[in-house]
A and B are shown apart, each in its own frame.
Chain A
Amino acid sequence: MTAVAGIDLEIHAGEFFTMLGPSGSGKTTTLRMIAGFEDPTAGTIELAGVDVAGVPPYERAVNTVFQDYALFPHMTVADNVAYGLKVAKTDRSERARRRDEALAMVRLPGYGARKPAELSGGQRQRVALARAIVNRPRVLLLDEPLGALDLKLREQMQMELKSIQGEVGITFVYVTHDQDEALTMSDRIAVFNDGRIEQVATPEDLYEHPVNEFVADFVGTSNVLERDGERFTVRPEKIEVIGPGASTDGLVTERGRVAQVAYAGAVTRYTVALDAGGILQLVRQNVGEAPGVAPTQGAEVVVGWRPQHAAAVTGAKNKEEVAP
């Protein structure tokens, strides 16, 4: 079985780089190859210009924050954090200083004497992070590190991770299947699908200009339409509902019927079945309009968007393109 094939990635120093994709898409395998837990059958992995394929994990200047944190249960928090320094035979006073620095950075000073079992999930996550950055690796790998946390804590940790990365200046390679997380935190994102990379781009580029249907669908809501043999996608928030008599200047318009209305607090989501075929999702901010303005279920509506907001896409995976 091939987990990943034909991956070509270049990650810049100091970058927050995210590998995004559904489970089984090869992102974790790629991460494990960078860490040295798996070896590629072909190709090279270069770290700062040096080929490290075949170099064991303990000789790579790369550290990992594991999905299950992998804290040593028989050691205290302090010993966990200092583990890498200890095996590297860093001298005692420097070890203590860097350990305390790292614990302070993840805002857990004074927790050194505790055992991992005495910490909450969020605190364990921080210890795992401190244990990895204390070694000052060239690259820090993070394998779905926030997956086990609840939503509030996850959002808080996203911001913290981002600010810690800015502080230490280490290259972060982050694996997630959560598109919001990827868009929020990353400098650049690689979208993985079925062992291949579909697109590498900045969050904005990825969202506004997805190169194919898979990316359009995985990052955001797909909204793929086909008109005159051209397939394209429009993001839901770019679509307006045009009131009767309102100007449609510079807009592409379509007629349709509201099939579904879903109220979601800040916004309301509409599903519109277009007369010319196809279904569009669109969202409207709930800004407190007079009653009767917002479309209701079953209403005939005209929707429109600016042509520059329609991004042409190709099929998700062009099997024909794969050379034998």
Chain B
Amino acid sequence: MATDAVVVKRSAGRRLAGLFNGRPRLQIGSLLAAPMAWLVILYLGSLVALLVTAFWTVNPLSGSVIKEFSLENFEELVNVPVYREITWRTVRTAILVTFTDAVIAFPIAFYMAKVAGRKTKALLVVAVLMPLWASYLVKIIAWRAILAEHGVLNWALEPIGLHGPGQGVTSVWLTMSYLWLPYMILPIFAGLERIPDSLIAASEDLGAHPFTTFRKVILPLSFPAVVAGSIFTFSLTLGDYLAPKLVSNEQFIGTSIFDSITNNQPFAAAFALVPIVVVIAYLGVARKLGAFEHV
């Protein structure tokens, strides 16, 4: 009787807590239900839709989509030289941007993680993050203005008889290297922060010159972080269409997809699979290089 009286008095919240108590699967399940639904239905669902659409075709006369399995889009991507050229140009730019960002980011990240004092470090983290607060479109337009025929770059180069790159692949490279730099700096910074100072001290203590210490200890231990950053810079460059649109007249994968979306969705879908395949291949190479071993 006494037990019953206690049960009756329990509030709804306590009863709910009682239901979850000792049932870890129920706890995890109800916690993850909503985000999992989002992930599966909206994210993976749209990827599947993309994959399916890529195998459809468009009736060239009526412009209507023929929902039948066909490899036509992929044959076109492989066989038409201009598409091969676009793919190669995009991948080449992505590699170049990644390499550029890695070379610029590493010394900055190293300074932030291992040299700067606490105050300078905090200041630099904010400085690196700050460009991310500005609209990405605004930043591209700013670069367009800098690189324009009568822009600030040509104005500055004119007295020494030089001329800026103008609209083109070089401008895309410059713009994207700027845009994605923070995505390279931050993972490397985090990776370097994780290397205990005692390892660097131990290397020096054992007789290694700072350059040897860098090559044998710091670089191998921070390499996974460089790869992590490169995954951002590489895939972001592969998928972008606004920068090529605004600072070049060349076609990139992104711009080609954008241009085909209105009149040939299946072809756009097929082209969109190319960066996905390239990134998967890239991750495979990174894995082979041992980039995920010491994470």
Chain A residues near B (Cβ < 8 Å): 35-37, 56-59, 62-64, 66-68, 70-74, 83-84, 87-88, 131-132, 135
Closest Cβ of chain B: how far from A79's Cβ, in Å? Answer: 10
Whether A58 lies near B221 (C-beta < 8 A) is no
| Complex contacts, B196 vs chain A, CB 8 Å | 68, 70
B120 located at the interface, meaning its Cβ lies under 8 Å from any Cβ of chain A in the complex? no
With A72-B199, A74-B220 as contacts: A87 and B205 at CB distance below 8 Å: no
Near A by CB (< 8 A), chain B positions 215-242 give: 216-217, 220-221
Residues of A near B204 (CB, < 8 A) are: 36-37, 56-58
B interface bracket (residues with beta carbon within 8 Å of A): 20 to 34
Pair A58/B208 contact, Cβ less than 8 Å:
yes
Q: How far apart are the CA atoms of A134 and B154 in the complex, in Å?
A: 61
Contacts of B210 in A (CB 8 A): 58
Q: Provide the residues of chain B in CB contact with A88, threshold 8 Å.
A: 207
A62 touches B212 (CB 8 A): no
- B contact residues around A64 at 8 Å (CB): 201-202, 205
B209 located at the interface, meaning its Cβ lies under 8 Å from any Cβ of chain A in the complex: yes
* A83–B203 touching, CB < 8 Å: yes
Q: Are A70 and B212 in contact (CB under 8 A)?
A: no
Q: What is B's interface to A at a CB cutoff of 8 Å?
A: 196, 198-199, 201-210, 212, 216-217, 220-221, 293-294
Q: In the assembled complex, which residues on chain A have CB atoms less than 8 Å from the CB atom of B220?
A: 74
- Give 6 nearest A-B pairs by CB, closest first: A84-B206, A70-B202, A70-B198, A87-B208, A57-B204, A64-B205
A74 near B206: Cβ-Cβ < 8 Å: no
Q: How many A-B residue pairs have CB under 8 A?
A: 64
* Complex Cα spacing A68 to B220, Å: 20
Which chain A residue shows the least CB distance to B212? Answer: A87
Q: What is the bound-complex CA distance between A84 and B206, given in angstroms?
A: 5
The distance in angstroms between the C-alpha atoms of A87 and B199, with both chains bound, is 15
Once bound together, how far apart are the Cα atoms of A66 and B294, in whole Å?
A: 22
Asked if residues B221 and A83 are in contact (CB atoms below 8 Å), the reply is no
Cβ B206 vs Cβ A131 within 8 A: yes
Q: Which residue of A lies closest to B202 (CB)?
A: A70
A-B contact pairs, 9 of them (CB 8 A): A35-B201, A37-B205, A58-B208, A68-B196, A68-B198, A70-B201, A74-B220, A87-B216, A132-B206
Are B205 and A35 neighbours in the complex by a CB distance under 8 Å? Answer: yes
B201 near A63 with CB under 8 A, answer no
The answer, among A63, A68, A71, for a CB contact under 8 Å with B205, is A63
Residues on A with beta carbons closer than 8 Å to the beta carbon of B217: 72
Nearest chain B CB to A48 CB, angstrom units: 17
| Interchain CB contact under 8 A, B201 and A135 | no
- Report B-chain residues with C-beta under 8 Å of the C-beta of A83: 203, 206, 208, 216
Q: In the complex the two chains form, is B201's CB within 8 Å of A58's CB?
A: no
B205 cross-chain contacts in A, Cβ below 8 A: 35-37, 57-58, 62-64
